[in-house]
Amino acid sequence: MSSFFCKAIFPPISDSGYKVWEDPSIIKWRKRDAHVPLQCHDTVEGALKYWYDHSKVDYLVANSAVWDDDAVVGALDSAAFWVKGLPFVVSLSGYWRFSLASSPETVPSNFWDCEFDDSTWAKLPVPSNWQMHGFDRPIYTNVVYPFILNPPKVPVDNPTGCYRTYFNIPKEWNGTFNRLLRSGYFLQEISSFPL
């Protein structure tokens, strides 16, 4: 079941020359329509307590934040803070296994398979930016692109990050309808998932 689940998340890559990363329509693949970020609560009291506890954020401090090595711990703590007290929510933030390929063509075969050995891969905090952790180089420009534009073709030199993590679905969720989300993108529905 887990292997099927892992393969169901990713679109197939064809041997006929079709490159999924050059298909502009893939941006909409499994993407849900825009909506307000509603949270699920099992009781009215629980909802009120959650919002009361989470309404004391110091936005001035948040707006003056600087991204450095100490910020990684802060980002992971922040992600945990916002899901604390929410029923049926598990944060996937944390340290994930990470490997940087030079291009999509050089991504390890079946790296998404649950049996894939990632023991030699680096650990990278998620959320974060791999360039800020020594992988590749930061690319920022607001004037000139750092590569030749030829949409939808992408350059051969196209660093591609591969991420892996494991997580457990709580037993209490057995028989419930769940969605796996990452940054608002719908990845997979899990309905009555056998635990």
pLDDT digits (tens, 9 = 90+) for 90-125: 888 889 999 999 998 899 999 988 899 999 999 998
> Which of 25-34, 122-131, 144-153 tops mean pLDDT?
122-131
Q: What is the pLDDT of residues 37-78, one digit of tens each?
A: 667 777 888 777 777 777 776 656 555 555 566 777 777 887
> Which of 14-18, 33-37, 76-80, 102-106 tops mean pLDDT?
102-106
Euclidean distance between CA atoms 154 and 77, whole angstroms? 36
Provide the pairing of β-strand 177-182 with 185-191.
antiparallel
Domain boundaries, the chain: 39-91, 93-164, 167-195
Residue 186 in contact with residue 192, Cβ under 8 Å? no
Q: What is the pLDDT of residues 153-195, one digit of tens each?
A: 888 888 999 999 988 888 888 877 666 655 444 344 444 333 3
- DSSP-assigned beta bridge partners for residue 153: 150
Measured from the Cβ of residue 15, the count of other Cβ atoms closer than 10 Å reads: 6
pTM: 0.69
